Amino acid sequence: MARNSTDTKEKLLDAFDILLDKQGISGATLDAVAAKAGVSKGGLLYHYGSKAELIKGSLERLDRLVDEDVESMKAAGERLHLYYLETSAEIGTPLDRSLIAASCLAQENDEAKSALRRTREAWFNALNNHLGDADMAMTIQLIGDGMYFNQNFGLSQDEALAHVKNVLARLGL
C-alpha cells in the first residue's frame, strides 16, 4: 500500500508508461493502468482527474528525467558522445520507458510532440557544446535517434552500436 499521495502517483505513472511501451495506446486504458498499479479506477481518478492529466503527468516526469540524463552526460566528460550513443539503445531504464511512452503518445498528442522536441534540443545542446562541431553533433544525435527507433520495434542495437563506433573511429572520435 502506498503510504502517501506521491508514491501512488508515481506507481500510476509507472503503470501507464509500461502499458504504453508494451501494448501501445489502445492497451493503456484507465482500467488497465489502475489494475497494474494495484488501485481501482476510482483511485486512479482521484490522483489524475482525467486521462489528459495522466498524460500530462507522464510528460512532466519525462522532462525531469531528461534533465537528470543531461547531467549524467556532462559527468561522462570526454566520453560524452559515447555515453549518449550507448544509452540511446538502452532498454528498461526509467528514462527509456518514459521516452517510449512519449513516442507512443506523440502519435496523437501535440504536448507529447513538444516534449520530445525539448528532449532532442537538450541532447543536441549537450553534444554540440562538448564536440564544438554542429555537423558531428547532429550526425551523432541522428544515429542515436535511429538506434532508439529500431530498438523500439524489437531490434537489438548492440551490433549497430559496434558498426557506428568503427565509423566514429575513422573520424577520430
Partner DNA sequence: GTCTATAATGAGATAGAC
Partner DNA sequence: GTCTATCTCATTATAGAC
- Contacts with DNA by CB under 7 A lie at 1-2, 4-5, 8, 26, 28-32, 34, 38-43, 45-47, 49-52
Contacting residue, 7, 38, 149, 156, with a second copy by CB under 8 A = 149
Does residue 142 interact with a second copy by CB under 8 A?
yes
3-state secondary structure the chain: CCCCHHHHHHHHHHHHHHHHHHHHHHHCCHHHHHHHHCCCHHHHHHHCCCHHHHHHHHHHHHHHHHHHHHHHHHHCHHHHHHHHHHHHCCCCCHHHHHHHHHHHHHCCCHHHHHHHHHHHHHHHHHHHHHHCCHHHHHHHHHHHHHHHHHHHCCCCCHHHHHHHHHHHHHCCC
CB nearer DNA, residue 108 or residue 135: 108
Contacting residue, 42, 77, 92, 154, with a second copy by CB under 8 A = 154
Q: Are 144 and 150 in contact (CB under 8 A)?
A: no
CB nearer a second copy, residue 13 or residue 20: 20
Work out what residue 132 binds among a second copy, DNA, none; the CB cut-off runs from 5 to 8 Å by kind. Answer: none
The set of cell numbers assigned to 152 is 523500439
Residue 127 CB, nearest approach to a second copy (Å): 11
Binding mask 75-114 for a second copy (x = CB under 8 A): -----------------------------x-xxxx---x-
Q: What residue ranges bind a second copy (CB under 8 A)?
A: 23-27, 104, 106-109, 113, 116-117, 120, 134-139, 141-150, 152-155, 159-160, 163-164, 166-167, 170-171
